[in-house]
Structure 1
Amino acid sequence: MTDAATPDQPLVVLDSVTLSLNGAAGRVDILRGIDLSVAAGETLGIVGPSGSGKSTLLMILAGLERPTSGRIAVAGQDFAELDEDGLARLRRDHIGIVFQAFHLIPTMTALENVAVPLELAGRADAFEVAAEALGTVGLAARQGHYPGQMSGGEQQRVALARAIVARPRLLLADEPTGNLDGATGRGIVELMFDLNTRLGTTLILVTHDDGLAARCHRTVRVEDGRIGS
């Protein structure tokens, strides 16, 4: 197992990935043979109807859901070779995740929320780096505020700061503007694309917004658990 993708390898690889779940109504096939590769520094938009498997695909890429079959590799690391602790370390070191729901810890300040991944990694400068990340998303003055004291847009910016604080190579975003008004959502989008431009962060974005998807280098459409042609 290697620790990072080499220059001639894509950063993200999915090979014949499937996911099936068994429920009271029987077996449900959610992903049906996904083949996908994403280059380092690329921006990829994933579109498709509700229930097509887009968000599940992102969960698979984050190592938050195990596939039924197929191969997944991110940054040169094959998910099949990693236990849950290994996947957690991969997320900590290489993957940032921004969800539609903010998933902030309500009893922690903005600064404390952003510092969590760095503290878990044992970084002595966790709060200094977290403060810098909050400044990057325009919230330097809100470090001591709790999520309940902040607007939805501010909470999403805190979530974005937390996702990028460790300078991940891959940023996954699942409808990150879905709970925000138009102007606030556009601001979040600009921040994510700026990260791609300045830091070379690979961005994979699930969205229902065709205009947003069109800003990506490439777009794929997921329908009925498959990537369409």
Structure 2
Amino acid sequence: MTLTLDGNAGRVEILHGISLDVQSGQSVGLIGPSGSGKSSLLMLMGGLEQATTGRVQALGKDLTAMDEDQLARFRRDSMGIVFQSFHLIPTMTALENVATPLELAGHRDAFERAREELEAVGLAARADHYPAQMSGGEQQRVALARAAAPRPKILLADEPTGNLDGTNGAAIMDLLFGLRDRHGSTLILVTHADDLAARCDRVIGLRDGRIVNERGPAAADAGEVA
């Protein structure tokens, strides 16, 4: 697939002929310098950006053939997404932030499951606190709990430790991989840190919108393509 966007200086080619298979249950680290296309690739994988050419398929569905409403429902039901910024709703408590996507998906046990996920990230005692009452590390834990609460088949994480110090960043990564293991999700992780990427089954390097190298087992016989 390719991605070309219109900028102030004209059309800019972001991704050039990317071809990539990810097997169900794999963890994949995307690394490369700033501007290499890591986050753009992640956005295409999540249906948050439309490919200019080519197709994006996930769980047997063609994301490039879906409209915005279909994509939103697909993400709600099958994906958890964690960004560098926490994107919590400031007027909702931690519990309400985690429960909201579950309620929208029609889960009757939304608040029960939300409490379980907050407990899993060590924030059971902060369930009734608002984002402004929590540290950055705690807010990112809430964001992780919110992403994991629907028990998604695919977890996408874009620099989830970028706004945190080293100690909090390491704790968040432990939690992220723990949630992945607990739910059996496929994990795609964008990071600048080689040591974090090395925890993944595969590490894919990008430069100038192209895949330039890969370490770890290639997508093969681990299971169905995610």
Alignment TM-score, normalising by the size of structure 2: 0.92
Shift of 1:192: 1.3
Higher strand share: 1
Say if 1:194 and 1:29 are closer, same or farther in 2 by CA, change over 3 A: same
Secondary structure in 2 matching 1:55: helix
Q: Which digits, 9 at most, give the CA deviation of each residue in 1:164-198, with x for residues without a partner?
A: 00000110111101111111111111111112333
Partner of residue 144, structure 1? 128
Higher relative contact order (CA 8 A, sep 6+): 2
Structure 1 segments (4+ residues) deviating >3 Å: none
Match of residue 107, structure 1, among 54, 72, 91: 91
5+ residue gaps in structure 1?
1-16
1:82 equivalent in alignment to 2:71: no
Q: Work out the percentage of aligned pairs sharing the same amino acid.
A: 65
Superposed, which structure 2 residues align to 1:124-143 within 5 Å? Answer: 124-143=108-127
Report the Cα distance in structure 2 between the residues aligned to 1:184 and 1:23, rounded to whole angstroms. 36
Shift of 1:119: 1.1
Partner of residue 82, structure 2? 98
Report the Cα distance in structure 1 between the residues aligned to 2:90 and 2:136, rounded to whole angstroms. 13
Indicate conservation of the 8 Å contact 2:44/2:51, yes or no. Answer: yes
Partner of residue 119, structure 1? 103
Match of residue 175, structure 1, among 159, 168, 191: 159
Partner of residue 161, structure 1? 145
Shift of 1:80: 2.6
Q: Which digits, 9 at most, give the CA deviation of each residue in 1:70-98, with x for residues without a partner?
A: 11011111013311111011101111000
1:39 equivalent in alignment to 2:23: yes
Shift of 1:37: 0.8
Q: Which digits, 9 at most, give the CA deviation of each residue in 1:40-88, with x for residues without a partner?
A: 1101000000011111111111111111111101111101331111101
CA RMSD across the alignment: 0.9
5+ residue gaps in structure 2?
214-226
Alignment TM-score, normalising by the size of structure 1: 0.91
Shift of 1:208: 0.5
